[in-house]
Amino acid sequence: MASKPFSKKGITLFGVVAIFILLAGLTVGCAPAEPEQVMEGATLAIEHFSVIEGTTWSGAHDRAGKRIAEKSEDVDYVFREEVGPDLTVPYAEEMIADGANIVVGNAEFMGMPLIEIADKYPEVYFGSIIASDLSTKRNFIRLFPRQYQALYLEGLVAGALTETGNIGIVSAFPSVQVIRRQNGFILGIQDAADLLGKDVNIYVKYVGDWYLPAEERDIAETLVTQYDVDVLTQQTDSGSPLDVATEQGIWFVGKDMDIVGFYGWSDTDTVAISFDTRWEVLYEHMLKEYLAGEENPVTVLYLGMNDSMVLADGTEVPTVDIMNDNKVGVEAISPAALPLIPAEIVDLVEKRRDEMIAGSWDPFTVHAFISNGTGLELEGTPIP
């Protein structure tokens, strides 16, 4: 796969990376009307595009469903795995017939068919993850967390850790969702490079889909052996890139879940830091509106670090956060990596995390971007 360079402020970026912040300042949609009735209970149904076991994406959604059910005695969680777009509607109707009230597709490509039956089931809330399409209906809700906020913090750590000056990303394909997350990571690397006076190359290579373990491994190995990458991360869903990082003895930056603390896939000698996604914060928002009898729910949910939920055990968790080996905040930085990271970077990670939890800072509103993603300041092209 060919790589094209892009230079800005001490960083050379290789690969197809466009700047998309379509949703960074997005506010949620429809103003709610007064609820007419209060529901006594609900069943949350999640359609997972992949298997759950061995994945961070569907694994995080499955954990969210379980946490929702654990917290509320009158709420049940049901699911289907390996749901392709041809099965989205049949499985949804099957679960609705069995009592499902909220049905969500956990990937856009297989969640969007739910919009076709939203009118047929007006009392049911439907939902789909946002990738690039923002279509909604009164009872068809779109949702995504501001994962780029945690990825920015990961980028600060990655930029400080690299000794070769080469960081690799095994990526899925260039959608808004993918590029937005990558750009959060890249901005963190950029700020670390500027602060430390380093030159950093970022290599992005796409496998073409979310879950292709063999292809992900091939690209990860290529990034290490041909591009001298010593910090590796991914925007795909298998454990193959982590396996390669472990085998090659380089640092890995995790995504979607605390892969050390929850899955035990590796240890902190390999995983420098990860982030954890709490989809339950978004699902609880949908659930509360449904149980309140809201006929016009918010149709775009884009929650971030300043949104949170209290779990059944009393723990309050933000929508996303850096997390590693069951530790959060700067304590999530690997004990093996921490001595290698300058104090000013650790302090900046802590400061920016606190600010994002407070809702007073965001990497996409602080950094100016060119909206067409070329990195060139073109006449007549507004900077969002």
User: What is d(CA 133, CA 126) in angstroms, rounded to the nearest whole number?
Assistant: 15
Asked whether the beta carbons of 127 and 140 are under 8 A apart, the reply is: yes
pLDDT at 27: 42
- The pTM assigned to this predicted structure is 0.88
Give the confidence band of 31 by pLDDT, cuts at 50, 70, 90: very low
Q: What are the structural domain ranges in the chain? A: 5-22+147-276+320-364, 42-145+278-302
pLDDT at 366: 87
Query: Cβ neighbours of residue 354 under 8 Å, at least 6 residues apart?
Result: none
Distance of CA 63 to the CA centre of its chain: 15
pLDDT at 14: 52
Question: Could you tell me which of 21, 49, 258 has the C-alpha nearest to residue 146?
Answer: 21
> Do the domains spanning 5-22+147-276+320-364 and 42-145+278-302 agree at the CATH topology level?
yes
Residue 376 has pLDDT above 60, yes or no: no
CATH number of the structural domain 5-22+147-276+320-364 = 3.40.50.2300
Residue 163 tokens read as 């000794």
Residue 267 has pLDDT above 50, yes or no: yes
User: Quick one: what percent of the chain has pLDDT higher than 90?
Assistant: 81
pLDDT at 25: 46
Compute the average pLDDT of residues 146-173: 98
CATH number of the structural domain 42-145+278-302 = 3.40.50.2300
User: What is d(CA 326, CA 202) in angstroms, rounded to the nearest whole number?
Assistant: 28
pLDDT at 4: 31
Q: What is the 3-state secondary structure (H, E, C) of 118-144?
A: CCCCCCCEEEEECCCCCCCECCEEEEC
pLDDT at 277: 98
Orientation of helix 57-71 relative to helix 279-291, angle to 10°: 40
pLDDT at 146: 97
**Mean pLDDT score across all residues of the chain:** 90
pLDDT at 9: 39
Question: Could you tell me which of 357, 308, 321 has the C-alpha nearest to residue 153?
Answer: 321
Compute the average pLDDT of residues 210-214: 92
Question: Could you tell me which of 367, 319, 370 has the C-alpha nearest to residue 18?
Answer: 370
